[in-house]
Amino acid sequence: MNNFLIALDIFLIAVIIAFLVNWLWQRMTAKKLGGELSNEEFEHTMRKAQIIDVREQKEFKQKHITGARNLPMTTIKLQYKELRKDMPVYLYSDSKSVTLKAARFLHKHGYNDIKWLRDGFENWEGMTKKSKY
C-alpha cells in the first residue's frame, strides 16, 4: 500500500509539473510572437487587420466576429498562403492554446505582425454575425 501511495504522489507531482511547464511555455511563446489584445484594443484596431477565426467551420457559421474569415486550425497548413504578410493578422478562437498554435505556425511561415484576442471569442463583446451558408 505504501508503494502505491508513493507512486501516486510521484504521478500527481509529475502532472502538476507538466501543467506548470505548459503554462510557462505558452506565456513565453505569447510574449515572443506578438501580443494579446483586450476586447477594446482588438475592436479598436481590427479594421486595419486580417481577422481570422481559427475555430472549426460549424462554430464559425453559428456566430463570429463581423468581418472575420474562417481559417480553421485543422486546415491552416493548407490555406495560410491566402493571408497577406504585409497586413497584421488578428486571431481568435475559444481556446487560447489553439490560437497560440495558429500564431506559432504563422510566425514560422513569415507572418510577423500577429495579435490575438486575449479572452477568446466566448468573451467577445463586439459585433457578431451568423453565416448565411
CATH number, position 63: 3.40.250.10
Question: 77 lies in which domain range?
Answer: 35-129
Over residues 62-79, the pLDDT tens digits come to 999 999 999 999 999 999
Q: In this model, does residue 45 exceed pLDDT 70?
A: yes
Backbone angles phi, psi at 128, to 5 degrees: -135, 165
pLDDT bin (cut points 50, 70, 90) of residue 58 is very high
Is residue 1 one of the residues assigned to a domain? no
pTM of the entire predicted model? 0.78
Is residue 78 one of the residues assigned to a domain? yes
Is residue 20 one of the residues assigned to a domain? no
pLDDT bin (cut points 50, 70, 90) of residue 1 is low
pLDDT bin (cut points 50, 70, 90) of residue 30 is low
Stretch 108-119: mean pLDDT: 93
* Neighbouring-strand partners of residue 89: 50, 114
Q: What is the CB-side half-sphere exposure of residue 47 using CA atoms within 13 A?
A: 4
